Amino acid sequence: MKKKQVLVACGAGVATSTVVNGAIEDMAKENDLKVDLVQIKISEVGGYEDTADLLVTTAMTKKEYPFPVINARSFLTGIGTEDTKKQILEELKK
C-alpha cells in the first residue's frame, strides 16, 4: 500500500497541530500503518494539493480540497476523540 500523505494543519503551525501530529503518529504506530505526516499552517495547504491524501486540521477551512478534511478539535478537548480517530483510521486504510 502506498504511504499516505497526511497534512496536519492549524492556524500557526506551532501548537495545536503539534498535538494532533503526535496523536496521529501514535495511532499509525498502533495500527502498523506507514504515514507521511506533514505539519503545516492552514495557509500552506494549497501547496500540497497534488500530493496529499488527507487533511486533519483544528482550523476551519472554507476552501474545497481534492482530499477529505477531518476536524481534529476533539484531540484538544477530549470530547469525541474516539470518533475522530475512527474517521482518520478509515481514511488511512483506504
Partner 1 sequence: MNEVYFDESVILPDIHSATKEEVLTEMSQNLVDKNLVKESFIKAIIEREKEFATGLPTAGFSVAIPHTDIEHVNRKTISVGILKEPVDFGVMGDESETTPVRIVFLLAMNESHSQLSLLQKLMQLFQNEETLRYLVEEKSQKNIKEFIEEKLDFTKL
Contact with partner 1 (CB under 8 A) among 11, 27, 67, 89: 11
Reported in sequence order, the residue ranges of the chain that DSSP labels E, i.e. its strands, are 4-10, 35-41, 54-57, 69-71
Contact between 82 and partner 1 (CB under 8 A)? no
78: contact with partner 1 by CB under 8 A: yes
Taking CB under 8 A as the criterion, the residue among 18, 47, 86, 94 binding partner 1 is: 18
Q: How many residues bind partner 1 (CB under 8 A)?
A: 26
Q: Name residue, grid cell 492556524.
A: 11
How is the beta sheet containing 54-57 ordered, strand by strand? 35-41, 4-10, 54-57, 69-71
Q: What is the residue-wise DSSP string for 61-87?
A: --S--SS-EEE-THHHH-TTHHHHHHH
Q: Is 71 in the site for partner 1 (CB under 8 A)?
A: yes
- Determine, following the binding rule CB under 8 A, whether residue 56 of this chain makes contact with partner 1: no
Which residues in this chain contact partner 1 in the complex, by CB under 8 A?
10-19, 21-22, 39, 42, 57-60, 71-73, 75-79
